[in-house]
Amino acid sequence: MGAYQGTSYLLKLGYSKIAYIGAPLSKGIGRGRLEGYKRALLEWGITPDEGLIIEGDLTEACGYNIIRDLWNRSSKPDAILAVNDIVAIGAILGARELGIRIPEELGVVGFDNIRESALVMPSLTTVAQPAYEIGRLACEMFIRRRDNPDLPVQSITLLPRLVIRDSTKSIKPEE
């Protein structure tokens, strides 16, 4: 849902050539976020470009190196959805070194809303997960199952929210 939200927001702002820098597809996080990214593109009538889907290792260096590679291509992306804020921050740092103007030439959206996402320049638009609530519910579920091991396994879905900052264009108010 978060990758869908982030991609849809970029599309709403007018970005259309969105790269996805993700976790290895062997990891659940990579598959789920890639599905959300692709779903948003398809709903906007855009066929996902496999050349803009790049697996990474969840590090700042990954984002830094990938943006440099993407910017050397003849057909450059106009936005990036990163699997996490660390990768997105690396992409921002690499873009800044290359003289790429964010958000005018490249919009960037991360994932997790870590503290540093508000401190990097420009500040990072990101998808926030309800981390406190996830931890609280996980503890409650653990205690219930510890006290009653026969309880069925329960699955709970919590919705993310988009935190809009300066790494994406702003929506102009209607006249």
Contact predicate 167/100, CB 8 Å? no
Which domain range does residue 104 map to? Answer: 2-129
Where residue 50 sits, what CATH number does that domain have? Answer: 3.40.50.2300
Residues 6+ apart with CB under 8 A from 69: none
pLDDT in tens, the chain (175 residues): 999 999 999 999 999 999 999 887 777 677 889 999 999 999 999 999 999 999 998 999 999 999 999 999 998 999 999 999 999 999 999 999 999 999 999 999 999 999 999 999 999 999 998 778 878 888 888 888 888 888 888 887 778 999 999 999 987 555 3
Q: Indicate the pairing of strand 161-163 with strand 125-128.
A: antiparallel
Give the predicted TM-score (pTM) of the model. Answer: 0.87
Does residue 164 sit within a domain? no
**Number of folded domains in the chain?**
1
Does residue 153 sit within a domain? no
Measured in degrees and rounded to the nearest 5, phi and psi for residue 158 equal -110, 140
Does residue 134 sit within a domain? no
Does residue 159 sit within a domain? no
